Structure 1
């Protein structure tokens, strides 16, 4: 009997311990018999998506303890909801639980409440608090299963997938970083037009999504705010393609509905304490900011007041006074307070005998028009609809031929009858706005005075004095100009504003002179190593964008939040000062929208660093060869990328001051800006061909396997046709989504991409080459044309390949008949013993004449 008694006692002990454990906290729920104490205990959603517990904010200002929800196991902690944001719990014991009246409560040991819901009183026995994997905290009626209360209906500063932005939901910013208290900015829905806006305080608009005449909100954000409703009209919102392709909505038309929802996983919208609404997505290295508004000082609602014109030419907010206007508060305007705006010097229609005229302002943003008319001529818009009455303040004539794109109703004459707000000089787009002003307001209100007659002697004196002054001024400017050139390297402290560069030592000065020895007029800023280290956080791995043959590339944040890509030469790259100098000198002389722009360089001891414009979408190969990201590039985007690369190459070969052969053109050297425009980069191996020459020879063959032409790989002969060959390979890779340097396309024949494309072309099955993810979006005519041109570019004989000028004509024309290609190079059997794509690997390719191809890889 004793063993039985021991077993019974042990069983009772286990039951009691289990009961005590459950009375504290279950895994993802709180019941009437449990609570959440402030002792480090948390509850975690079933799928380990979110966590609920007590916390101290980052950069805590020691206000107390808060109960909140944050992403589980993410560092740093990202809080998405706070229960007691305006009533922090002092540093005394407290707990979060379901109270005796069935409401949620946060109380301290004395029973003082810091948070509670306001539901009708009920027995707490049947109520369960559950943390869902969506981040929603729900109070459930255990009997009916109905949700009685949810945190999604009472958010703080964060909008999560599953929420719906409607008339009652608002996001309110934190007071500051480290202080969750109610802040100054609110993101909510405008009750008039149902579009989102940001309010500062109770009544002052801070940003509106339609403040500049069109809806600036991107569709992927509107779709997110609607809780992924199919009723959202995509045409109403800004195209998602205008934003980074990493955004969920950038390829939304090519995804099915379930894939669309999946693309929004781990995304959030934050109303931050500085007044920006920000859309974030979790990437492998942390939260990535995809979109924000206001995106600059001019994007704030009416930053310059009525009739004030905003621009960012000086690097910050600057407000212009238009001719015929004056500041309402001149003293405040001088101090930089532009909120009072401007007013007319003279009212319009004030002189019937002298009709009003117009200020013609090009590329202007402005609020929505008050009246829309249809007009077949601008004169009709101006005379009949604006000057015929005194209410019209300004007009914009869109043009009779373009009327279909204006509001969908054929309106081509836009009229403003009330004061103009949100005026802004715009770089691209906007209206050619005509603002009505009295003629006398522009001519000036002061009376004209007659000048007294000037004697002959005075005329002579004035002429001589003027000539002498002009000569002295010209001499002074000339001396100043040459002094600046000679002393350019000594004035390095100006290379980065607010970041003085220390005096260069002899080795640095010699290196800097080496970069500039052939062309004294190359103006490339020299950055100090100290400033680069500060901008990249000492080349931190968190700032690392990737790594190429040259070495690692980092993202640097420089003064005024300027983002720059920092390319650091690796000592193991095989490249030295010659390649480094080559890249600085060449890119400094090249200016084209499809070439990456060099912003500066640095030489410090063994460090050799290049600084480029930052490309947020990285390189082309990260999209077309990635199973997940390739769907973000539909056919239209891919074809535009092909066109952009062609234009950049044509500029290098023909239209630039120098004739440049790139020699290392490949998908990883094609960078993509925020609008997915391609930019050719990496000119370390490029060569200048003098005069009208189009080819040259080299003993040292450098480049990348799979993109090198046969005459260059075998004989060392490179020409503009070498780049054409590489371009042809890139076209076929863009169309197929496959690398020419890896993968087998038919196991029985082990073909390269070129061989596989040629075989399909011969069998009249060229469309089988197309990436399967492009089938819904592809244009069959354009695809066939691209494959044809790609095969023309990779023909074995360089003389058969077209020039880039012919390539661009073929790509752009819809009527040109294309020639049939001959057999390309390297179509035979391919053997490999390595997965590397570099020529330095042990891969072996056999050409059609069975000659082995080998070369040194410099990248």
Structure 2
């Protein structure tokens, strides 16, 4: 019995020691209780040690605030007493007798701040969890009474919500700091609005400052910059059961962490960390067109135009004097004589035509959206039947969107957005014929053909009959199709040019009209009968490329429209010829300027910078924004054409691949490696693996060429470096990268921009694909929205080959490649 008593006492004492230790450990590390307070000099730390709660002072301030920060005090994510600062170090954090978390002035006992929850348990604790959320919890029931995530300040972190309730109208909103060093409530706030088609609004006091456009399940339609990988991970829950809609974001990779904050001047800033180390920091700057209603009702804003505001066809400035003085707030009104006919038709008149629609591409949709479920054709029908409907748009996630009042906050994007259909009188309608064409195209079936030559997209005529096949063998091929084995490829989607007219336009394909020659064949300048200039690409009989590349280019580029892609106007398939007709580029290709000792002087840094950004935006369209997801596979200076204004246009899509899947790192494999040596990444040249990162590598090489004014292949006889990439890497390691800049464009005013481009170029040509940024990130880097660039890792193709291997390589490919001529086939290992 004594033995048993002794053991019980021993266990009891051990239990008390354990409880005491656990209590102390918990309170010291992550918990505040009524008996364990936190003074100005102390902190509590989350269990994973990522977050701390304690008092801090902003830079150049002596005020004391209770805040939560990530890793260090500069990464503040929440502040309790932002509008009630302590003037000294007398602050004390504890649980009061009512169970609320409070901040006291320890000298006089005055409550500075409180969670202020009524009717709660007096037995509560506050714990800082591993997400950075400070949670006030009832010890008995475990119920959450209050948490800091539901009372944010200016910053959002993963799993944090921005929310609004349809019934109570309560909101979880973010409010900026007043200034850089003053965390009190500022003039800007961000909230979730328009819950029928949810979007985020940034307010300046009580006025709308900027809005994201409606959520389409992936991004906000008015925020194409969300397409960057660093803003992926958003999710919207339209109703959590009590009428609350909320938006949150998170990273699939748990080694990542991000702080998205609303700055004191009304912009969004993202700082991202990987393994607790800052990886990037960028601020999404706003241009003039981002400001709400910049061009007034029915006014369209385009930041790339001068002036930025314009009226649509059939509209004119409401106040011409103010408009001419760049005061666009009154917007536009319909011109006299261009009134809508809907009401007249409803009254029984048969003398007028029904209203139509004028389509505007890549638009930010107007504010005040009404929506309904339906397909795109139903949107148009429903809008036409309602005389108050002034515009419509469609998104597969949102459905039909309608506007019945003034169209406000319209913006034209260079990429992203939606097609906006604006109601106009019949004589201004621009989409009726396009609708008919789309209807015809539905009868075409697109299927991928996978073989030794790789997956290519062919259009097969669904009604191909044996009798017609026989007739065609006897009578010859029809002009609108090409026979390849037993497969017929229809070209109905493109205008067909008559061979004789092209022959006349090019003076019988005279050599004096030849603009250049590539892997496909020669390209000729032509002048049509109406004086219109064209460029005709003619498939060479000796070309390593053939009918597959021809059809591939037709099918790829005919579906693409972007200011940085060359426009395919039509084709010709008569007399056994395969020709493509393009818009004429008067300044030919980039390499004609860049590598010519005299012509390169024309390309000052402003022009080169614009060319770099234009190429990047063209690639972004191919990878992210077009209807197809396309990898070009042959980006190089000779495939970048320049129009009369030196705007770059990506050309030559014969080797492009249409790929499926939504992940930027998806890889495909081919036994047929095509492209141009020097621009190929190692995983493609060596193993036949290609992805979007292949184009990024090629772009990186091209970027280094543009900055340096030197060909990548010009280093063939260089004693140290295999290529320009290797040479640039050597200079980077020697901290001598400035010497890479072309002396013809060097300017101390632009040196930082030039060095930044070299830095970005080296990031693009890193050896491992996963380490290269995707093109959306590259665009943000180029326009300086990502302010912190990570250091580049080892680049590919650095070391010089020995003379024997170099000579062997040169001989083995001598028949298929000559400098920048595209390789048509190389067997990958």
Pairwise TM-score range, normalised by the shorter structure: 0.3 to 0.5
Q: Larger Cα Rg: Structure 1 or Structure 2? A: 1
TM-score of the aligned structures, taking structure 2 as reference length:
0.47
Question: Which has the higher relative contact order, 1 or 2, with Cα contacts under 8 A spaced 6 or more apart?
Answer: 2
TM-score of the aligned structures, taking structure 1 as reference length:
0.46
Structure with the larger strand share: 2
